[in-house]
Chains A and B, each alone.
Chain A
Amino acid sequence: MQQAKDLKTYREELGEAIDNTFLHNTMDKFARAYPQGRENAFTGLDPQALIAEVVESKDSAIGRMEELYQEFKKNAEAAGVQVHLARTAAEATDIITRIAREEGCSRVVKSKSMTAEEVRLSRHLAGEGMDITEADLGEWIIQLRHEGPSHMVLPAIHLSRDQVAELFSEVTGALQSNDIEKLVKVARRELRVKFAEGDMGVSGANFCLADSGTIGFVTNEGNARLLTTLPRVHVALMGLDKVVPNLHEALKVLRVLPRNATGQAITSYVTWIHGPVECKAARNDRKIFHIVFLDNGRTTLAKDPLFSQILRCVRCGACANVCPVFRMVGGHHFGHIYVGAIGLIFTYFFHGRDNAKNLVKNCINCQACKSVCAAGIDLPRLRRWSRAFRTRRATNWTPGC
C-alpha cells in the first residue's frame, strides 16, 4: 500500500522498488507474457466488439443502478436472503461484524474480494477479535506477511518462492523447500482445516442478477466454493456496480473478464448462488445467507457524466499489466488499495484525495491501459481530470473515507 506522506518520501520508496532485482525481473517477465496470453485467449474473436458489448451493457445497468438494486433486493429477499445496503466502508464492516456476532461466529474464512479490501474488512474483523483466514493462496500469503495485495488478480506477485517457503516454514513450524508444487500442497492441507472449522464464509461477487437475486463469482482455486459450502453462514459483499439485469448480461462480461485478466477462456469455476442452499451445519439444514451491498460514493458516481464510466470496471487487472510504470515499481507503490491505472482513479474516489495525491503523478499518458481495458474506460482522460480536481480543488465531489 502506498502511503508516503510527501512526494520526496514517495520518490525514495520508488527508488528502492526499482532497485529490487527480483521484483524487477518478475514484473518484466509478466509484462512480456501478458499480451501474448491475452491475444491467444481472444483468438478467433474480436476483442473490441466484445468490449463494446460490455460497455453498452454496463452503461445501461449503471444508468439504472438504484432500480436494479431494488429489483435484486426484492428477488433475493423472496428467496430467503437478508440484503443490506452500506452507505460507507465503516457501515459495511459494522454490518458484517453485527451479523457475525448475532450468529455467534468467530472463525471466518474469506475469499478474494476487492470490495472487502476497499473497506479493509479483514483488518476490521481481526480487530473485533475474530479469527479470519484468507483462503485464496495469494491472499493467505500476504495476510501472513501483513501486507496488502500488489495486484488485483495476482496479490502476491511481488514475492519469490523463497520468501513463501520461509513464510510457510514459520507457519507450519517445519522446514519447507522452495518447490512451488509442494508449497501449494502445504497450503492445501493447512487451509482445508480452516474450511472445516469455519463458521462464517465471506465472499465477493462479480455479478448480481437482478431478475432473480442470484450472485455469481469467478475463481480458479475453488476456495470460494468450499467457504460458501462448509460454514453455516455466508456473507457476500460487493459494490452496487455489480448489479446487472440478468444472466444474459452477466455472460457478456464473463466472455471478456477471464480472457483479459489471465488469458483464460473461462476460470476453472464460475458459481451462481440463488437463495439459502442446503447446509448441514446450519439450523434446519439451510444456509444463513446475507448479501451486503456497498455504496461508498457509487450512487453519486453513477450520476456523474464523466466519471460514471469507472463503475464499468470488472476488476480484471489488465490496466496494471500493460502499464510501464507498474512494470517498473510494482503494485505496492502504484496504488493505495486498488492498483494500476484504475487504482489511481479509484483511490481518489474511494480512499480520498490525500491517498491519491502522489499516485496520480505516475501516469505518463502512454494510453496503453485505455486500449486494453475490458470495460472500455478512458483511463488516461479520467486520470487527467482527477488530477485537475486535486490541484484546483475545483470539485464539489466528496470522496469516500
Chain B
Amino acid sequence: MANQNGIDSLQMFTSKAEAVSCVVSQAASMSQVFDYVVDVCDKREACQLLIPGCEEALSQKAAGLCEAKRAKVVAAPNLSKRDFGSLKKKCEEKGILCIDEGMRDREHLAGIDIGLAVCQVGIADTGTVVLDSDSEEVRLSSMVSEVFVAVVDRKDIFADAFAAEKAVNRLILKNSSYTAFITGASRTSDIERVLALGVHGPLEMHVVILDKKNKKAGA
C-alpha cells in the first residue's frame, strides 16, 4: 500500500503487464491516446480486414459470419461524448468506422479491429486493469475486438488487489454490476499445452497509462 500511485507501482504494473504480452505505453492526454489507437488500427494490414480465423477452412455457418465485415472498425463505448467525438473525427480522417454502440449487430459480433475502454483501476503486482463492464457495449467491444486497448489513469494504479479492494468494491456493490479484471489477451493451452492467444477474445492487448502531469509522455 505504501507505494500506491508511486513510481514503483507504475514500473511494477508495466513489467507485469508486459510479462503477459501486453503492449504498455504512456500518454499525457486523451488526444494522445486517440492518436495511438488510430495509428495501431491504421497499421493493421489490409489483409487483416479478413477476420482472424476466416482464412481457415470453416463450416458453412461459421464462414457465414465472416462475410459480415466491411471496413475497419474501432469501438469506444465508454468515452465522454466530447472524447468520442474527437476520436471519431481522427478515425474518419483515416477511413475507419468509429462506433460507440451497436456491438450486437451481426457484422460487429463477427469481429472488430479495436476496442477501446477507459478502465477504473489498475493493479500493479499482476499487471491487471479493472473495467466497469455494466454496459453490454463495453463487455462486447472488449471481447470481440482483435486488439483491446485499455486506458488507465496513473493515479488509479494500486500496488495489489488488496490495496485496490475499496475501489473494486465500489464497482461491484452497485445495484447490479459486471466488473472485469483483465490481464492480457484471451489465451488457451488446451491443445498439447501450447499457448495460443485469441481463442475467444482479443488476440492482443495494449495498455495506455494516462498521466496528465507528464507532458513529455508520448504514446
Contact = CB atoms under 8 A, between A and B. Distances in A.
B193 A278 contact: no
Contact of A273 (B66, B110, B177, B200): B177
B104 interface: yes
Task: Name the residue among B16, B106, B144 with the largest chain A CB count within 10 angstroms.
Answer: B144
Interface in B114-142: 125-128, 134-136, 139-140
B46 interface: no
B56 A225 contact: no
Task: Name the residue among B53, B143, B192 with the largest chain A CB count within 10 angstroms.
Answer: B192
A226 B106 contact: no
Given A183-B191, A221-B186, A275 B199 contact: no
A137 B173 contact: no
B143 A266 contact: no
Interface in A139-178: 141, 154-157, 159-161, 164, 171-176
B41 interface: no
Task: Name the residue among B171, B176, B180 with the largest chain A CB count within 10 angstroms.
Answer: B176
Given A222-B186, A268-B186, A276 B176 contact: yes
Task: Name the residue among A79, A156, A272 with the largest chain B CB count within 10 angstroms.
Answer: A272
A135 interface: yes
A274 B196 contact: no
Contacts of B106: 196
A52 interface: no
A280 B180 contact: no
A186 B52 CA distance: 9
A229 B200 contact: no
Given A188-B52, A190-B62, A229 B126 contact: no
A74 to B, nearest CB: 15
Contacts of A106: none
A277 B194 contact: no
B49 interface: no
B161 interface: yes
Contacts of B65: 189, 192-193, 196
A137 B190 contact: yes
A223 B199 CA distance: 9
B199 A137 contact: yes
Interface stretch (A1-9, A247-255, A367-375, A383-391): A247-255
A279 interface: yes
Contacts of A189: 51, 53-54, 56, 58, 62-63, 65-66
Given A154-B190, A268-B183, A280 B136 contact: yes
A251 B176 contact: no
A178 B189 CA distance: 15
Task: Name the residue among A175, A230, A262 with the largest chain B CB count within 10 angstroms.
Answer: A230
Interface stretch (B29-37, B162-170, B210-218): B162-170
A21 to B, nearest CB: 14
Interface residues of A, number: 77
A173 B57 CA distance: 8
A269 B180 contact: yes
Contacts of A26: 192-193
Contacts of A185: 52-53, 56, 198
Task: Name the residue among B64, B110, B162, B188 with the largest chain A CB count within 10 angstroms.
Answer: B188
Contact of B165 (A135, A248, A262): A248
A247 B172 CA distance: 9
B61 interface: yes
Interface string A20-38: 0000001001100100000
A188 B192 contact: no
B179 to A, nearest CB: 4
A400 interface: no
B165 A251 contact: yes
Contact of B162 (A171, A181, A248): A248
Contacts of A382: none
B59 interface: yes
B126 A265 contact: yes
B175 interface: yes
Contacts of A135: 200
Contacts of B84: none
B201 A280 contact: no
Given A185-B56, A189-B66, A277 B134 contact: yes
A270 B200 contact: no
B43 interface: no
17 contacts: A136-B190, A137-B188, A172-B58, A174-B57, A189-B66, A192-B65, A196-B109, A221-B201, A222-B186, A229-B140, A266-B128, A269-B181, A269-B183, A270-B181, A272-B178, A274-B177, A277-B176
The 9 closest A-B pairs by CB, nearest first: A275-B176, A174-B57, A185-B53, A138-B190, A222-B201, A270-B181, A189-B53, A222-B186, A184-B196
Interface of A: 26, 29-30, 33, 79-80, 135-138, 141, 154-157, 159-161, 164, 171-176, 180-193, 195-196, 209, 212, 214, 220-223, 225-226, 228-230, 247-248, 251, 254-255, 262, 264-281
Interface of B: 16, 20, 51-54, 56-66, 104, 106, 109-111, 125-128, 134-136, 139-140, 143-144, 161-162, 165, 168-169, 171-194, 196, 198-201
